[in-house]
């Protein structure tokens, strides 16, 4: 029986032009434009030296401590993919390290997200290849399965479908659903332009902060 042990086809992917234009948008602005309801959890942090990740979700669900299906996904990865691995957040065994990450980088993978642990942290932190993970351990993985490639996964409540857009920066990563990318981009771009204007006003000393006092008064704060 293949329930929970299967490689599914990926039937849709966001366009390369969409992937590219999201590189200029901060994850925080994307998140705010999605009503702050989409997040991969505060435990999954960027471990690399820095830089933006934007690409197409290639999802993996695996049992804790086993990376057979991660290898299966890596064999099928295409340039521009982001390998998103859900191992339930378990940190007992590292699911990926320098060798597999080097292979991913070689085939053009845009980044790796692991809801679990990685190893070879020194190699990761010294480079710009995007790696987001919940933890680090030297203890290696098993290779027995089961697991699934290109299945729907959820990390801290954020649902990720194969082919969705994944964007990451120093604040973490976020998934933008395949059929909402244009809507989210328009809202996030508008917000980012507004923040640029606010920053210019801050530097010029002309920023208007009267809204704070109005909010306090409307909320009934005493001593204003």
Q: What is the CATH number of the domain that holds 15?
A: 3.50.30.40
The answer on 153 and 205 residing in a single domain is no
Q: Is 123 inside a domain boundary?
A: yes
Residues spanned by the domain of 60: 6-178
Give the pLDDT score at 3: 86
User: Which positions make up the binding site for Mg(2+)?
Assistant: 120
Q: What is the pLDDT of residue 40?
A: 78
Let me know how many helices (H) and strands (E) the chain has, helices first.
Answer: 7, 11
Residues 58 and 159 in one domain: yes
**Structure confidence at residue 202 (pLDDT):** 96
- What's the pLDDT score for residue 37? 84
Under DSSP, is residue 167 helix (H, G, I), strand (E, B) or coil? strand
Looking at the structure, tell me whether residues 124 and 200 fall in a common domain: no
pLDDT at 153: 97
What pLDDT does 13 receive? 96
Summarize the annotated binding site as residue ranges.
97-100, 119-120
pLDDT of residue 41: 78
Annotated binding residues for substrate: 97-100, 119
Which parts of the chain register pLDDT below 50? none
- Total number of domains in the chain: 2
- Residue 211 within any structural domain of the chain: yes
Of 66, 95, 91, 93, nearest to 83 by C-alpha is 95
């Amino acid at each position: 029986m293949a329930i929970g042990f299967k490689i599914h086809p990926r039937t849709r992917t966001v366009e390369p032009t969409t992937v590219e234009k999201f590189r200029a948008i901060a994850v925080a602005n994307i998140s705010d434009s999605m009503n702050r309801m989409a997040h991969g959890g505060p435990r999954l942090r960027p471990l690399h030296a820095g830089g933006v990740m934007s690409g197409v979700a290639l999802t993996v669900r695996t049992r804790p401590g086993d990376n057979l299906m991660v290898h299966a996904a890596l064999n099928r990865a295409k340039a521009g993919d982001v390998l998103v691995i859900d191992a339930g957040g378990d940190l007992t065994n590292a699911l990926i390290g320098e060798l597999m990450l080097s292979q991913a980088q070689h085939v053009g993978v845009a980044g790796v997200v692991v809801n679990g642990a990685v190893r070879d942290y020194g190699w990761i932190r010294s480079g710009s290849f995007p790696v987001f993970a919940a933890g680090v351990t030297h203890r290696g993985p098993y290779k027995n399965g089961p697991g699934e490639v290109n299945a729907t996964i959820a990390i801290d409540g954020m649902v990720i479908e194969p082919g969705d857009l994944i964007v990451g920066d120093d604040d973490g990563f976020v998934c933008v659903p395949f059929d909402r990318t244009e809507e989210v981009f328009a809202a996030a771009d508008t917000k980012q332009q507004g923040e640029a204007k606010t920053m210019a006003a801050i530097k010029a000393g002309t920023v208007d902060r009267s809204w704070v006092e109005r909010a306090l008064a409307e909320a009934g704060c005493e001593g204003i």
